[in-house]
């Protein structure tokens, strides 16, 4: 099960989740998640797996700043990554959200069926948000 999570870095609340069992490319998944939440986002931070020029352009056209690391294949891409290092460092907040989801039972899901795994991960996200709201 491939899971993509959109986390609010201020509250660590999970704003959106995308689940798939397909071998989908992260850039396409990122585009779907972004389009569902575009009106609420000022900055979209993601790792190099989401490096796709169409996603960056979509962010800019909706007045959202894309903080997505480039795959360093050219000197220009390396320079782009070097410029965003200071702002990109806030991405650790989203990694904290992922680790909080995994700390209960580790990375293993109990369910064997896709639907069961979907429900299990959805419940974990709801419990995570309730825990964040209570603290």
Q: Give dist(CA 12, CA 128) in Å, integer.
A: 9
Q: Give dist(CA 81, CA 104) in Å, integer.
A: 34
Domains of the chain, residue spans: 2-134
pLDDT of 114: 83
Structure tokens, 69: 């690391």
More confident residue, 82 or 41: 41
More confident residue, 111 or 128: 128
Asked if residue 44 has pLDDT above 60, the reply is yes
Q: Give dist(CA 92, CA 79) in Å, integer.
A: 21
Rg (C-alpha) for the chain, rounded Å, is 16
pLDDT of 117: 84
Asked if residue 80 has pLDDT above 90, the reply is no
Asked if residue 135 has pLDDT above 70, the reply is yes
């Amino acid at each position: 099960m491939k899971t993509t999570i959109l986390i609010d870095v201020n509250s660590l609340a999970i704003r959106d989740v995308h689940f798939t069992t397909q071998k989908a490319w992260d850039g396409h998944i990122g585009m779907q998640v972004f389009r569902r939440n575009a009106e609420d986002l000022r900055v979209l931070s993601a790792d190099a797996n989401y490096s796709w020029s169409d996603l960056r352009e979509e962010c800019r056209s909706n007045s959202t700043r894309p903080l997505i690391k480039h795959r360093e294949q050219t000197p220009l891409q390396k320079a782009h990554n070097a410029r965003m290092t200071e702002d990109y460092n806030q991405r650790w907040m989203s990694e904290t959200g992922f680790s909080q989801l995994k700390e209960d039972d580790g990375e293993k899901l109990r369910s064997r069926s896709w639907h069961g795994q979907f429900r299990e991960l959805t419940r974990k996200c709801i419990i995570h948000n309730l825990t964040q709201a209570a603290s």
